[in-house]
Homo-oligomer: A and B are copies of this chain.
């Protein structure tokens, strides 16, 4: 066990990926000497060479398009997109090629490409540096979309993602990069027989079981209201749960989705069946978003358990505003608690 920031945990996870498999590559803008603008790849080019940690030309479609070609040649590229707002030039390669080539080939081609994207707001940045683009990817069949909220998940999930034979969009909550947590870097993620459970399954029996990549987690058990969130909002939701417990005697059960596509909602359904109330939180704009999907599925599955409609707390349906307004834009503790209250008003 070590206490690491999320940034450092990801860095160590990536290092392990490069050590695990000589076919793993890291590619992107400024990932080499600079170690990326967030230093997530710090030191990796120095230790693994510029043949494996590749500073690319400044063109995102090129990054993903050549990564697909490299994957066809047997490599496992990890692409870094510098900021959320700069993934769109690569959107065509992601949506029409990366997501669909396995299907197109009738399963003959696999594209184990991981796309790391620092995402979300709250860092006082200029335009295009604070986007939450997950809905676009979740709507696209053939992609897997995951996000981590803690250093421990950062370390584990990046390794699982890179081991996955599917393309994975790996979303990193950038404003949490510098928050610390316990990480067990000695964990044997893939077990003695890595094929027995598949790369995303549980580890072998002798180790503490590691949560599969596509599993959500009850982060904080509770009895009154189910609150579903992920990534950068987890810390905010947990803070809200503290306040609710203290000020209202309300016990929130907090679930970290972790996997955004496919969704793992069984724990949510089970929770809502107990609580009868559900709030879904993310900072991406609400319109045609993940919270709509979760709300629709929860309602369909637990209709008669619901005391109130599922409440959604999301970023507003505006472009991400200038940074002096972002604190008002982003869901905060008050807005989450207000939604919790709403579930009692019905």
Residues of A within 8 A of B (CB): 61, 85, 88-89, 91-92, 95-96, 99-100, 103-104, 127-128, 135-136, 138-139, 141-142, 261, 285, 287-293, 295-296, 299-300, 303-304, 308-312, 317-319, 346
Contacts and interface: CB of A to CB of B under 8 A. Distances in A.
B346 A303 contact: yes
Contacts of A61: 89
Contact of A309 (B103, B142, B303): B303
A282 to B, nearest CB: 11
Given A88-B95, A136-B139, A293 B300 contact: no
Contacts of A288: 135, 138-139, 261, 288-290, 292-293
B139 A287 contact: yes
A317 B297 CA distance: 14
Contacts of A139: 135-136, 139, 285, 287-289
A312 B285 contact: no
Given A88-B92, A95-B88, A287-B139, A103 B292 contact: no
A293 to B, nearest CB: 4
Contacts of A303: 308-309, 346
